[in-house]
Amino acid sequence: MKSVLAITDDTVLATSVIVNALQELGNGDVANYHSQIITQAFSLNNLPLGASSMDVVISICRSAFPSDQMLEEISRVLKPGGVIFIHKTSQSVAVEKDEIKAKKPSWAIGSSFSIKKPAKILPKIQIDDDSDLIDEDSLLTEEDLKKPQLPLVGDCEVGSTRKACKNCSCGRAEAEEKVEKLGLTSDLLENPQSACGNCGLGDAFRCSTCPYKGLPAFKLGEKVSLTGNFLAADI
């Protein structure tokens, strides 16, 4: 059973007024309501009811609308989703003047709820099968489809135990010839040593009889690396 509160600024309030107000709200079955009436309610500071205890509050006023304080009290006693109906009449109850109907939000102050984001609908693209579409594979020739041949990587390394072949075309024969002109052996290239300690610093620090004269700088004890620029240079 639902509860309804009727308040008025008058000294008396006929039950027929409450019935008519409920019927106007669309709640004609008055038997389902438990009614309470408070007369001269506008002179009160607080309504003698608990918070969120009323489903409907009907305010019947003859002189003026309820004050802001009374409206706060009406909101306090109303349940979430409850209805308020303010009905102002003249001295004759049968003559209507003004009406206000409102509904309290169905959520409590401080409550929270998640907002569901609408799903993004991607635009549909209709492809006409009769349109002139070009197959990309048809643009390739037989030459394009051939697997590219990677250039052979030379395995020759100047100063190693291997020698240049008879018909050497990788440049190793020329590099070996330049190394022979310097009078360097494979031991001097594989494990360079220095009596003075300056041989690895470069020609600026080497003596005139240094066996490493003309070679790039290197670290003692580590294999001498002959760069491409050195092998391409004329000795």
Known binding-site positions for [2Fe-2S] cluster: 156, 165, 168, 170
Which residue, among 48, 18, 44, has the nearest Cα to 30 in the 3D structure?
A: 18
C-alpha–C-alpha distance, residues 148 and 143, integer Å: 10
Annotated binding site for [4Fe-4S] cluster: 196, 199, 207, 210
Calpha distance 32→178 (Å, rounded):
116
Residues in the chain: 235
Closest CA to 22 of 77, 85, 66, 69: 85
How far apart CA 35 and CA 217 sit, in angstroms, is 108
3 state SS of 195 = coil
Phi, psi of 37 (to 5 degrees): -125, 130
Picking from 233, 167, 170, the residue whose alpha carbon sits closest to that of residue 203 is 233
Which positions make up the binding site?
A: 156, 165, 168, 170, 196, 199, 207, 210
> Per DSSP, what are the bridge partners of residue 34?
3
Q: What is the enclosing helix (H) or strand (E) of 74?
A: helix 68-77
Sign of CA dihedral 138, 144, 146, 147: negative
